[in-house]
Amino acid sequence: MASDGLPEAVAPKTKKSNIKYASTCAVVASMASIVLGYDIGVMSGASLYIQKDLEITDVQVEILMGILSIYSIVGSFAAGRTSDWIGRRFTVIFVAAFFFAGALLMGFASGYTMLMLGRFVAGIGVGYAIVIAPLYTAEIAPASARGFLVSFAEVFINLGILFGYVSNYAFARLPLHLGWRFMLGIGAVPSVLLALLVSGMPESPRWLVMKGRLADARVVLEKITDTPEEAEERLADIKTAAGIPEDLDGDVVVVPRKRGGEEKQVWRELILSPTPSMRRILLAALGVFLFQQLTGSDSVVLYSPRVFESAGITGDDQLLAATCAMGVAKTLVILVAMFLLDRVGRRPLLLCSTGGMIVSLVGLATGLTVVDQNPDARVPWAVSLCVASVLAYVSFFSVGLGPVTGVYTTEILPLRVRALGFAVGAAGNRVVSGVMSMTFLSLSGAITLGGTFFLYAGVAVLAWVFFFTCLPETRGRTLEEMGSLFGMTDTGPEAEDAAPGTQDASCRARLLINHMNIWGSVHRKVCVGHI
């Protein structure tokens, strides 16, 4: 029995209480994603009224829609450095501040220039949110529920997108010069709530270990593991991953630093001279991040009213209602994905999701092509096919590629390079998103709207092949065990240089086994002796 003076965190807890505690932390951190999703979703409808009120061209609309993703690159890289510098928890406060300021600037914008300034500030917040919400959650979640908890970020993005669509519908009846300003400005409200709640969150135990604060890390680990003994075991694993000698213990210790500076060392390990296994990890992370956008997800979300209008749906109310239906479908399906991630696995969901997206994109492209070829006659089946294909596309995206991206990339990146690696991947994701968004109208004008979605379907085929050949299953493993899937040895990355051929052969064998069994059960049995 614990004495009165013993901290409550040291008392043994049930698994249920630990999941509840970690879930609460994940919900608070993921609230940043609600504001992120709202900024994406609300602009799809608001752009219709902005173009009418400010009398701007289609090119200016494209820039306005896509520039947020380009601006977010600043936030993505800043988030990696900031989260390593002051911690994951306080970085969330930066997110709230940028979103709050950006929403007010856009809400009170007197013209296109001020609106773009607001998009710049909000874009930095978007970059921060994309990195910090899944990063923090992955580092605080137990392995058994990590997929479930990290997917909260994607759930909240979809919830924010839905709120944005509802806001479009709710404020559409206001005078033209007020409606879109209310749509954009109301995004400041959840930012305030986020800043208030984040003060009660614990810091990531892995970040605390990186800073040598072992006692603080132990307290947090005891809250998210079943017993104090398990907390000590996890602490030992994290210390090893952080490069802290096993015999170095105490409340606060000095973390050994490699010559040349920690930041330079991280860049060297990940980008400048990575080991073979690190290159495979970086390729896998970048591939998932880039294909998430190359398959057209943001284009469908941002330009859904125009897509529905091209399909034959007319009238602002009908367009916004169809867009809201799409948001509801995305949100409901992502809730299903939360429960599948830790039961089915990451890889099967990715493959099934991408396969469904391919079929949906082909259906949408076919329907739009038929409608475009019959401008003087309404083709009911083609209109229905377009609507059904859009709903199917966002549903398949939300059940796999949407939530798995954040989960998978935070899992496979080693501790020392996790923040930087996620920032690099998120920056690439935002660049592609910006390019896709800012070229959608021009591309559809050049090769037709149907041709654009046929192109996206072709890219989705490439994505499916990449996922099948390059991504091993990660379900059920601790973050410290992920390196073995890509050929890292227990002694660290440096050991690879001594026997690269052996490591390459080992990794190829592991991947081959994983490819032969999509569910990954055979792979897990084979790898037990190597962990």
Whether residue 466 sits in one domain with residue 362: yes
According to the model, what pLDDT value does residue 360 have? 94
| Lookup: tokens for 198 | 């984040």
According to the model, what pLDDT value does residue 362 have? 95
Question: 488 falls in which pLDDT band (50, 70, 90)?
Answer: low
Number of folded domains that form the chain: 2
Residue pair 226/15 in contact by the 8 Å Cβ criterion:
yes
**Domain membership flag for residue 510:** no
Whether residue 411 sits in one domain with residue 473: yes
Whether residue 311 sits in one domain with residue 237: no
What amino acid occupies position 141? A
Whether residue 273 sits in one domain with residue 228: no
Question: 491 falls in which pLDDT band (50, 70, 90)?
Answer: very low
**Domain membership flag for residue 530:** no
**Domain membership flag for residue 528:** no
Sign of CA dihedral 106, 109, 112, 113: negative
Burial 458-469 (b: 16+ CB within 10 A, else e): ebbbebbebbee
**Domain membership flag for residue 271:** yes
Any idea of the CA torsion for 87, 90, 93, 98, to the nearest 10 degrees? -40
Cα–Cα distance measured from residue 236 to residue 221, given in angstroms and rounded to the nearest whole number: 11
Answer yes or no: is pLDDT of 519 > 50. no
> Domain range holding 126?
15-254
Residue pair 205/238 in contact by the 8 Å Cβ criterion:
yes
Cα–Cα distance measured from residue 301 to residue 98, given in angstroms and rounded to the nearest whole number: 23
- Among residues 254, 284, 304, which one ends one of the domains? 254
Residue pair 41/301 in contact by the 8 Å Cβ criterion:
yes
Answer yes or no: is pLDDT of 363 > 90. yes
pLDDT higher for 125 or 460?
460
Whether residue 195 sits in one domain with residue 147: yes
Residue pair 480/238 in contact by the 8 Å Cβ criterion:
yes
Cα–Cα distance measured from residue 320 to residue 344, given in angstroms and rounded to the nearest whole number: 35
CATH of the domain at 309: 1.20.1250.20
Whether residue 148 sits in one domain with residue 76: yes
Answer yes or no: is pLDDT of 182 > 70. yes
Cα–Cα distance measured from residue 244 to residue 335, given in angstroms and rounded to the nearest whole number: 39
According to the model, what pLDDT value does residue 424 have? 84
**Domain membership flag for residue 105:** yes
**Domain membership flag for residue 512:** no
Q: What is the CA radius of gyration of the chain?
A: 24
Residue pair 133/37 in contact by the 8 Å Cβ criterion:
no
Contacts of 45 (CB under 8 A, 6+ apart): 164, 165, 167, 168, 169, 172, 183, 305, 320, 323
Whole-number average pLDDT of the chain: 79
Encode pLDDT of 294-344 as tens digits.
998 888 877 887 888 887 777 767 777 787 888 888 888 888 887 887 788
**Domain membership flag for residue 496:** no
Q: Which of 14-28, 105-119, 470-484 has the lowest mean pLDDT?
A: 14-28
DSSP state for residue 269 in the 8-state scheme:
I
- Among residues 254, 273, 303, which one ends one of the domains? 254
Burial 298-333 (b: 16+ CB within 10 A, else e): bbbbbbbbbbbbbbbbeebeebbebbbbbbbbbbeb
Answer yes or no: is pLDDT of 151 > 80. no
According to the model, what pLDDT value does residue 389 have? 92
Answer yes or no: is pLDDT of 369 > 80. yes
DSSP state for residue 202 in the 8-state scheme:
P
**Domain membership flag for residue 1:** no
Question: 361 falls in which pLDDT band (50, 70, 90)?
Answer: very high
Answer yes or no: is pLDDT of 499 > 50. no
pLDDT higher for 301 or 390?
390
Element (H, E) at 289: helix 276-294
Question: 16 falls in which pLDDT band (50, 70, 90)?
Answer: low
Answer yes or no: is pLDDT of 30 > 90. no
Whether residue 434 sits in one domain with residue 338: yes
Whether residue 306 sits in one domain with residue 396: yes
Answer yes or no: is pLDDT of 11 > 60. no
According to the model, what pLDDT value does residue 418 have? 79
Cα–Cα distance measured from residue 153 to residue 95, given in angstroms and rounded to the nearest whole number: 14
Whether residue 135 sits in one domain with residue 61: yes
Whether residue 131 sits in one domain with residue 72: yes
Three-class secondary structure assignment of 420-471: HHHHHHHHHHHHHHHHHHHHHHHHHHHHHHHHHHHHHHHHHHHHHHHHHHHC
Cβ burial of 403 (10 Å; 0-12, 13-18, 19+) is buried
Instruction: State the average pLDDT over residues 184-207.
Output: 85
- Among residues 254, 289, 321, which one ends one of the domains? 254
* CA–CA distances in Å: residue 137 to residues 29, 78, 140, 141, 443: 7, 18, 5, 6, 38
Whether residue 289 sits in one domain with residue 223: no
Encode pLDDT of 213-251 as tens digits.
888 888 888 887 767 777 888 888 788 777 788 777 777
Question: 169 falls in which pLDDT band (50, 70, 90)?
Answer: confident
According to the model, what pLDDT value does residue 288 have? 92
Cα–Cα distance measured from residue 196 to residue 271, given in angstroms and rounded to the nearest whole number: 37
Whether residue 417 sits in one domain with residue 303: yes
Chain-centre distance for alpha carbon 148: 13
Question: 1 falls in which pLDDT band (50, 70, 90)?
Answer: very low
Q: Which of 41-45, 303-307, 497-501 has the lowest mean pLDDT?
A: 497-501
What amino acid occupies position 436? M
pLDDT-above-90 percentage for the chain: 15
Sign of CA dihedral 105, 111, 117, 118: positive
Burial 407-418 (b: 16+ CB within 10 A, else e): bbbbbbbbbbbb
Cβ burial of 365 (10 Å; 0-12, 13-18, 19+) is buried
Cα–Cα distance measured from residue 119 to residue 185, given in angstroms and rounded to the nearest whole number: 12
- In this structure, how many other beta carbons lie within 10 angstroms of the beta carbon of residue 387? 20
Instruction: State the average pLDDT over residues 454-475.
Output: 92
